[in-house]
Amino acid sequence: MHATRRLRLDRIASATANAKIKRDVILGPDITSRAGYVIAVKILNDKPVYNTIEEISGRLVPVRAGDVLAGVLGSRRALKGYEGRVPPRLVPGERVHVLNLGGVLGECTSIHPDLGAPFEGEVLGAVLDFPAIEDRIGRPAHIGRGAIATSDTLEGDVPIVFVAGTSMNAGKTVAATQIVRGLTRAGMAVGAVKLTGVALRRDALSMLDAGAVAGLTFTDTGSVCTDEEHVLPAARGLLNHLARVYSPDIIVAELGDGILGDYGVKTLLGNAELMDRSAALIVCAPDQVGAWGACRLLEQNYGLKPTLIAGPTTDTQVGCRFVRDELALPACNARRDPEGLASQVLEVVRGLD
């Protein structure tokens, strides 16, 4: 019989939230090396940058060599971050890497020069779950426990403001947060959700702090990261849950990563059922080429036209003039003029009545 052991965790990554693990855990030696399973690792190195983990509280906390971390096996394909995958097999003593701030663990296959090498962790074992009171054996913990159900259909009729971007770090969350704040101050009950990306609660928490009645992410459906195959059922499930449980007047949905990324944004934009529910499509871009390209791509591939352009390309009047003169669209900056951005969206939303 394989031995189990008790261990106290120093850090519990936010990606594990659905598994509801405690600080004191029991580890098993038999690891299911698939996305979504929770394991414990001992951090082996220090890092000068990208050296924090988002805990289940939502706080970013520092990580140091020697810390014992509970994270979730998964993959990542970030343009401006690490790329990695779930190893085909894992046993205690082997090593994995911390692929993102949310505590996704896997084998790093590509690094970004600004971030340096990732945290490396020695695998200690599978975190065990004991759902039954008298269960003495336990089973490997998974973030699918208690997850929001996915769906093959979209229910209700709550309008959705979609916030998309050309890539990660294009200003989507800042824009989405200011839109939530503005709509909330106008008296609307706003549901917030992040539909694509890799496990991290920061963006949904930002929208929740801005006044949203609820802030969900795809991780709430038991997914570590989104992909073309599973993103649509997860999105439907999240939107249905928001509508059914919280009865919002409107939903603000951030599409993490970029329009051309690998996390399934293309699938959502190409789905007529979702886009028919769209009250507005906000596009964030870093520069003129990005704004121009996003508009052309959305029109040619999906027959969509952005409601307005936000993001760093609108940081100055130079970019704003380009958007207005060359793209014939409003240019709204979430940092310089958050009230103006929210007002533009509110005007479009109220025009639906």
Which of 75, 110, 140 is the C-terminal boundary of a domain? 140
Q: Is residue 49 one of the residues assigned to a domain? A: yes
pTM, 2 dp: 0.95
Residues 172, 126 share a domain: no
The verdict on 165 and 224 lying in the same domain is: yes
Integer CA distances (angstroms), 97 to 23, 134, 170, 188, 300, in order? 21, 35, 26, 43, 39
Q: H-helix or E-strand containing 12?
A: strand 11-12
Looking at the structure, do residues 229 and 122 belong to the same domain, yes or no?
A: no
Number of domain units in the chain:
2
Within-domain flag for 252: yes
Q: Are residues 254 and 210 in the same domain?
A: yes
Residue 152 lies in a domain: no
Tell me if residue 351 falls in helix, strand or coil. Answer: coil
Q: Is residue 153 part of a domain?
A: no
CATH of the domain at 301: 3.40.50.300
Q: Residue 41 contacts by C-beta under 8 Å, 6 or more apart in sequence?
A: 68, 69, 71, 96, 105, 121, 122, 123, 124
Per-residue pLDDT of 136-172, as tens digits, reads: 678 999 999 989 999 999 999 999 999 999 998 999 9
Listed residues 110, 140, 170: the one ending a domain: 140
> Residue 255: which domain range?
160-350
**Domain end call among 140, 171, 195:** 140
Is 168 within the bounds of a domain? yes
Give pLDDT tens digits for 216-274.
Answer: 999 999 999 999 999 999 999 999 999 999 999 999 999 999 999 899 999 999 999 99
Rounded distance between C-alpha atoms, residue 252 and residue 181, angstroms? 11
236-250 core/surface letters (b: 16 or more CB in 10 A; e: else):
bbbbbbbbeebebbb
- What 3-state DSSP class applies to 41? strand
Q: Is residue 148 part of a domain?
A: no
Whether residues 127 and 168 fall in one domain: no
Instruction: Look up residue 88 and give its two tokens.
Output: 């085909």
